[in-house]
A and B are shown apart, each in its own frame.
Chain A
Amino acid sequence: MSSVESAEVDETVATVAGVRDASAPAGIVRGNLRFLGSELRLVFRRRRNQLLLAVVALIPLLIGIGLKLATPHGGAGPSSGPGGGTGAFYNQLAGNGVFLTFIALTLLLILFLPMVVAVVAGDSVAGEAGYGTLRYLLAVPAGRTRLLAVKFVTISAYAVCATFIVTVVALLAGVILFPVGPVTLLSGTSVSLADGLLHVFYVTLYVSAAMIAVGAIGLAVSTFTEHAIGAIAAILVLIVASEVVDQVPQFAVAGPYLPTHWWTSFDALLRTPVDTTTLWHGLLSFLVYAVIFCAIAWARFTSSDVTS
C-alpha cells in the first residue's frame, strides 16, 4: 500500500495543475474533446452499433445485385420504383451505376437508415439511465448540458457515418455491376462523371442532415425514459406515423411540416438549375426539428431528477 500512497502524493500535485489547466480555455477544450472521444469510442466500438453499420453496408449491395439480376442486358430497368420520383432513378441505373446511390438512399430512407439512427439516439441517454451509469457520469461530474452536447455530436457523427456508408457501398456496387459514365441528370442535362459524383456527395450531405434531425428527435425522446428499447420504439412509431400521414392526400396541408416530408427531396439537387427552393425548405425543416428537439432534450434533462 505504501507505493500507492506515494502515488497519491504525486497525484495531488498533478491535480492542482490539472484543475488550473481546466479553468483555462485550452484545458476546457481538451477536457471536452477527451469526453467526446470517449463517447465516440463507446458508440463506434460497441458491437451492436458496428453490426448495424455492417447491415447498412450490406443492403445497397443486395439492392445492386437484385437490380442487376432483374435488368436484362442493355434493356430498361423496372419501369417504376416505389414512391414519387424514384422511378427515374431505376430507368437511369441500367445506363449508369452512379444512380444506385440514389436508389439505395431512397430505399433505406423509408425505414432502415432512420431506424439505425434511432437505435443509437434512443439508447444515448435512456441506455445510460438503464445501466445506472448516468448517475455516475453526472456525479463525476460530466455536467448535464455538456453530456447532452457530447451525446448529440456523437449521434450526429454516427448518422453521417451511416449515410455515407450507404453512398460509398452503393457507389462501389454500382461501378462494379453497371456501366459508368457521364451522368444524365433528371432534368435531362448531362454532366461529367466527376460532376456527377459531386452531386452524389451533396445528396449524401442532404440525407445526413435529415438523419441528424432524426438524431435530435431521438435524443429528446431518450431523455424521457430509462428504457432504451422504449425510446427506440417511440422514435420509429413517430417516423412511420409521419410517413403514413404524409401519404394521405387529405392531410396534404400538414405535409410540409412533417419531419419525414423532405427526406427524399434530394432529387432537387439532380436538376439543372438546382431547385433551391425545395432544397432550402428541406434543410430548414431539418434545422428547425433539430433545434426544437435539442431544446426539448435540454429542458428535460437539465430540470429532471436522475432516479435511475
Chain B
Amino acid sequence: MTENTAAVGSASGDLAISSTGLTKRFHGGQLAVDHVDLAVPKGSVYGFLGPNGSGKTTTIRMLLGLAYPTSGTAALLGVPVPDGAFQVLPKVGSLVEGPAFYPYLSGWDNLARYDAADRTAPKGSKTRRIGSALDRVGLTAAAKKKYRHYSLGMKQRLAIASGLLRPRDLIILDEPTNGLDPQGTREVRALVREIAADGITVFVSSHLLPEVEQVSTHVGVMRNGTLVFQGSLPELRRTGAPRIAVQTADVEKAAKVFGELGLADPIQEAGLITAELGDAEPERICEDLVHAGVGVRGLSVESPSLEDLFVGLTGEGFDVER
C-alpha cells in the first residue's frame, strides 16, 4: 500500500511536509518510527492516524526539530529539518502533545511570551495579533484569566491560538481534540475547516478516524512506527474490497458454490457466508446458488466502512503489540 506515497506528490516543492526513510530509535533500542516517507501536499488537510504509541507524536517531534532522527531526512515547506528549523518554523504553527503554558501567567501573557520568543514576530503588531488569535478561538473574555484557572477545553483552544499568532503556511495539530467534550471536538473541527479554507496546509493527528474523516482530504495511517497507508480518502476507500454476504441455512452448500465461482476469502458463520466479490456479478452468484439448491434468505454486497479499513490497517483492540 505504500506505493501510494509516490502518487501523492512527486516534486517536493509541492509538498508542505515530506520525509524519506525517517527513523527514530530511542536510547533503549525501541524503534518508534521506522522508515516513514511522508508526502503531505500543499493545501491539503492531512489526517495522520494511528493508535496511541504508533509513532505519530515522535514523527511530529522530529518534524519540529524537537527530536533528532536516527536516520532519514525530513523537510517542512521544502526546508530540511532539523537543520533549517530555525528558518522555517516561523511559518509553521503547532500544537504538540497537548497544551503547555505557564500556569501563573494569564492567557494573554502566555501568548505574548511565545510571541516574544519569535525573533521574526513584529513587536508593533503584537497586541493586535494576540487579540485576533484569542478572538478566533473564542477566548477574548478569558484573556486576563490565569492559565491555571482555564478549563481543559480553554487550554486546548489557547494552544491553537498560539499556533495562529502569525500567518502560517502550515499548521501541525497533534491530537487537538484529546480530552475535549463532543462540543469542543466540533469546535476544533470547525476551526480546522476555517484554517484550511484560508489555503493553509493542516496536518492533524488523531487516534480516532471519525475525528479527521470529515475534515481531511488526505490520510496517513501509522502502525507500530511504520506508515501503512498514505493517500487521499477515496484512495483509502478503494483499498477495501467489497464483499458478498449470503444469508442461508445451507452454509456448506453455499461455500461449495462460492468455491466453484472462485470467490476469494470465504468466511463461514452460522447462517451467513461472506466472500470477496471481486469481478463476479451478484446476480450470477444468486442464480448459481439457487441452481445448486441453496435456500437464499438474503443476499447483499457490502463495502467496508472507513472505520473497518482503519481498524484493518492498525489492528484491533489495545496497543499490545509494543
**A interface residue numbers (CB < 8 A to B):** 1, 4-5, 7-8, 10-12, 14-15, 17-19, 21-22, 27-28, 30-32, 34-35, 37-38, 42, 46-47, 131-133, 135-143, 146-147, 303, 305-307
Minimum CB–CB distance from B281 to chain A (whole Å) comes to: 51
- The answer, yes or no, to whether B198 is at the interface (CB within 8 Å) is yes
Minimum CB–CB distance from B126 to chain A (whole Å) comes to: 9
Give the complex CA separation of A136 and B172 in angstroms: 12
Q: A14-B125, A143-B119, A307-B61 are in contact. List 4 more A-B contacts (CB 8 A).
A: A15-B167, A17-B122, A28-B119, A132-B98
Looking at the complex, which one of B102, B125, B162 makes contact with A131 (CB distance below 8 Å)? B102
- The answer, yes or no, to whether B117 is at the interface (CB within 8 Å) is yes
Looking at the complex, which one of B66, B119, B129 makes contact with A305 (CB distance below 8 Å)? B66
CB closest chain-A residue, reference B131? A7
Looking at the complex, which one of A4, A32, A42 makes contact with B102 (CB distance below 8 Å)? A42
Known A42-B113, A46-B104, A305-B67; judge A136-B118 contact (CB<8 A). no
Looking at the complex, which one of B65, B66, B104, B124 makes contact with A47 (CB distance below 8 Å)? B104
CB pair A143–B86 under 8 Å, yes or no, is yes
CB pair A30–B123 under 8 Å, yes or no, is yes
CB pair A305–B65 under 8 Å, yes or no, is no
- The answer, yes or no, to whether B290 is at the interface (CB within 8 Å) is no
CB pair B100–A141 under 8 Å, yes or no, is no
CB pair A136–B98 under 8 Å, yes or no, is no
CB pair A131–B101 under 8 Å, yes or no, is yes
Looking at the complex, which one of B64, B100, B119, B122 makes contact with A133 (CB distance below 8 Å)? B100
CB closest chain-A residue, reference B24? A305
Give the complex CA separation of A135 and B117 in angstroms: 12
Within 8 A of A (CB), among B107-154: 112-114, 116-125, 128-129, 132, 135-136
- The answer, yes or no, to whether B97 is at the interface (CB within 8 Å) is yes
CB pair A306–B117 under 8 Å, yes or no, is no
Give the complex CA separation of A272 and B17 in angstroms: 68
CB pair B89–A141 under 8 Å, yes or no, is yes
CB pair A141–B65 under 8 Å, yes or no, is yes
Within 8 A of A (CB), among B58-90: 61, 64-68, 85-86, 89-90
The interface residues of chain B lying within 8 Å CB-to-CB of A37 are 116
Give the complex CA separation of A14 and B122 in angstroms: 7
Minimum CB–CB distance from B94 to chain A (whole Å) comes to: 5
Q: Which applies to chain A's interface (DSSP): helix, strand, loop or mixed?
A: helix
The interface residues of chain A lying within 8 Å CB-to-CB of B66 are 135, 138-139, 305-306
- The answer, yes or no, to whether B103 is at the interface (CB within 8 Å) is yes
Give the complex CA separation of A303 and B128 in angstroms: 36
Known A8-B198, A38-B112; judge A15-B102 contact (CB<8 A). no
- The answer, yes or no, to whether B252 is at the interface (CB within 8 Å) is no
- The answer, yes or no, to whether B307 is at the interface (CB within 8 Å) is no
CB pair A142–B117 under 8 Å, yes or no, is yes
Looking at the complex, which one of A7, A35, A303 makes contact with B119 (CB distance below 8 Å)? A35
CB pair A135–B97 under 8 Å, yes or no, is yes
The interface residues of chain B lying within 8 Å CB-to-CB of A147 are 117
CB pair A21–B122 under 8 Å, yes or no, is yes
Give the complex CA separation of A37 and B117 in angstroms: 10
Looking at the complex, which one of A10, A131, A143 makes contact with B103 (CB distance below 8 Å)? A131
Give the complex CA separation of A143 and B96 in angstroms: 17
CB pair A307–B102 under 8 Å, yes or no, is no
The interface residues of chain B lying within 8 Å CB-to-CB of A47 are 104
CB pair A140–B117 under 8 Å, yes or no, is yes
Minimum CB–CB distance from A168 to chain B (whole Å) comes to: 28
CB closest chain-B residue, reference A18? B122
Give the complex CA separation of A42 and B123 in angstroms: 17
Known A30-B123, A42-B113, A305-B67; judge A135-B100 contact (CB<8 A). yes
- The answer, yes or no, to whether B166 is at the interface (CB within 8 Å) is yes
The interface residues of chain A lying within 8 Å CB-to-CB of B125 are 10-11, 14
CB pair B167–A18 under 8 Å, yes or no, is no
Give the complex CA separation of A158 and B89 in angstroms: 31
